[in-house]
């Protein structure tokens, strides 16, 4: 693999690192010389997925954490501070979807889970990240939102509400902390081929994915690698002036 970025000496935190974008991002940042703090609610899957990191020689810390639980978030970030002392890059990427349904048919439990993980979890992690980054007046935060943060998403109404909220947090934090040397941006991918998409597609599987791809001007879904490439550039020093942006990576879906 070609290493395009140099994150040597940087501490990079990734939530939802056991699967999909987060897992692939962990590998890409490890290949680029970063030391990692990887958080996920599923510790066994996180351990399994991090085995490949041993080949990179990168230092990594695995932390089981439900990002929607304030006590767990607090304890995970205390461990991170004890271990690394500082934080350069944080990718708030953990997220969940709910079953496809019209708003009138979604449940209160689905509301609570979707909002608690995607929005409250991002908020809780951002609070910790900002307080660590303020100590050095440097750092960059990237929130994995979605095109569902920018436009309505039929049958994924709660997910869209949560991701719109993530963009609100991102833009507000950019306004508050830009002067403190911290950049805060969001990435807005369209559907990509990760386990989350398999969960959404359910029994409809390939047919559903083909339907989604047919809606995209480029007539295909994103690959995980394309999303991770964007994550790396957005978090790199090459991207030194972008702050408060909601960057689409969607094959043109939201261009209309
Ligand atoms: N895959 C897509 O099509 C797509 C498109 C746009 C945005 N996104 C967003 O990208 C992010 C990553 O999605 P993915 O496709 O890689 O999904 P994924 O399901 O493959 O991975 C999500 C990870 O988050 C973890 N997680 C879930 N709840 C958690 C919690 N409470 N605390 C900590 N970790 C938790 C899961 O264990 C899993 O490892 C999500 O925020 C998702 O909303 C995904």
Q: Has residue 34 been placed in a domain?
A: yes
Phi and psi dihedrals of 179, rounded to 5? -70, -15
Write out pLDDT tens, residues 20-60.
999 999 999 999 999 999 999 999 999 999 999 999 999 99
Predicted pLDDT of residue 2: 57
Can you name the residues that pair with 222 across neighbouring β-strands? 192
What spacing in Å lies between the alpha carbon of 219 and ligand 1's midpoint? 23
Residue 191 has pLDDT above 80, yes or no: yes
Extract the tokens encoding 35: 């030391």
d(CA 158, CA 128): 25
Indicate which atom in ligand 1 lies nearest the CA of residue 159: 43
Q: Has residue 206 been placed in a domain?
A: no
Indicate which atom in ligand 1 lies nearest the CA of residue 191: 3
Extract the tokens encoding 120: 């409250």
Is there an atom of ligand 1 within 6 Å of 196 CB?
yes
Predicted pLDDT of residue 217: 97
Q: Has residue 144 been placed in a domain?
A: yes
Is there an atom of ligand 1 within 6 Å of 36 CB?
no
pLDDT higher for 127 or 1?
Answer: 127
State the alpha helices, DSSP H only, in the chain: 20-31, 43-50, 70-84, 108-115, 121-136, 157-177, 195-201, 205-215, 224-235
CATH of the domain at 101: 3.40.50.720
What spacing in Å lies between the alpha carbon of 240 and ligand 1's midpoint? 27
209-225 mean pLDDT: 96
d(CA 12, CA 61): 10
What spacing in Å lies between the alpha carbon of 19 and ligand 1's midpoint? 7
- Per-residue CA distances from 215 to 66, 130, 164, 242, 255 (Å): 34, 37, 21, 29, 12
Indicate which atom in ligand 1 lies nearest the CA of residue 42: 37
Write out pLDDT tens, residues 67-91.
999 999 999 999 999 999 999 999 9
CA-proximal residue: ligand 1, atom 42 (nearest): 95
Residue 1 has pLDDT above 70, yes or no: no
Is there an atom of ligand 1 within 6 Å of 144 CB?
yes
Q: Has residue 114 been placed in a domain?
A: yes
Indicate which atom in ligand 1 lies nearest the CA of residue 163: 43
Extract the tokens encoding 150: 């920018």
Q: Has residue 121 been placed in a domain?
A: yes
Q: Has residue 22 been placed in a domain?
A: yes
Predicted pLDDT of residue 41: 98
The percentage of the chain sitting over the pLDDT mark of 70, rounded to a whole number, equals: 99
Count Cβ atoms below 10 Å from residue 205 Cβ, excluding itself.
10
220-228 mean pLDDT: 97
pLDDT band at 202 (very low <50, low <70, confident <90, very high): confident
What spacing in Å lies between the alpha carbon of 16 and ligand 1's midpoint? 6
Is there an atom of ligand 1 within 6 Å of 24 CB?
no
Extract the tokens encoding 10: 């940087």
Is there an atom of ligand 1 within 6 Å of 20 CB?
yes
Residue 226 has pLDDT above 80, yes or no: yes
Question: Which residues have a Cβ under 8 Å from the Cβ of 135 and sit 6 or more positions away?
Answer: 86
Domain of 175 in residue numbering reads as: 11-192+224-249
Predicted pLDDT of residue 205: 79
Q: Has residue 241 been placed in a domain?
A: yes
pLDDT band at 201 (very low <50, low <70, confident <90, very high): confident
Write out pLDDT tens, residues 136-180.
999 999 999 999 999 999 999 999 999 999 999 999 999 999 999
- Chain Cα centroid distance, residue 15: 7
Q: Has residue 215 been placed in a domain?
A: no
Catalytically annotated residues? 159
- Per-residue CA distances from 110 to 61, 191, 194, 197 (Å): 31, 20, 21, 18
The number of distinct structural domains making up the chain is: 1
């Amino acid at each position: 693999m070609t290493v395009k970025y140099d994150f040597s000496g940087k501490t990079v935190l990734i939530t939802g690192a056991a699967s999909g974008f987060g897992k692939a991002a962990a590998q890409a940042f490890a290949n680029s010389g970063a030391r990692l703090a990887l958080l996920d609610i599923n510790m066994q899957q996180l351990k399994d997925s991090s085995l490949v990191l041993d080949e990179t020689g990168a230092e990594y810390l695995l932390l089981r954490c439900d990002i929607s639980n304030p006590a767990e978030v607090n304890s995970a970030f205390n461990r991170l501070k004890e271990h690394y002392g500082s934080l350069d890059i944080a990718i708030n990427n953990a997220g969940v979807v709910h079953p496809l349904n019209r708003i009138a048919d979604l449940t209160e439990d689905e509301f609570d889970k979707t909002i608690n993980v995607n929005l409250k979890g991002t908020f809780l992690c951002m609070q910790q990240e900002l307080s660590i980054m303020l100590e050095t007046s440097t750092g960059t935060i990237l929130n994995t939102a979605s095109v569902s943060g920018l436009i309505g998403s039929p049958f994924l109404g709660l997910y869209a509400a949560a991701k719109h909220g993530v963009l609100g947090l991102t833009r507000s934090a950019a306004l508050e902390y830009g002067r403190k040397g911290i950049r805060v941006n969001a990435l807005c991918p369209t559907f990509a081929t990760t386990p989350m998409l398999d969960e959404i597609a359910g029994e409809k599987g390939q047919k559903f994915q083909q339907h989604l791809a047919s809606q995209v001007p480029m007539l295909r879904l994103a690959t995980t690698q394309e999303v991770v490439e964007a994550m790396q550039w957005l978090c790199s020093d090459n991207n030194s002036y972008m702050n408060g942006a909601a960057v689409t990576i969607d094959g043109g879906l939201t261009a209309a």
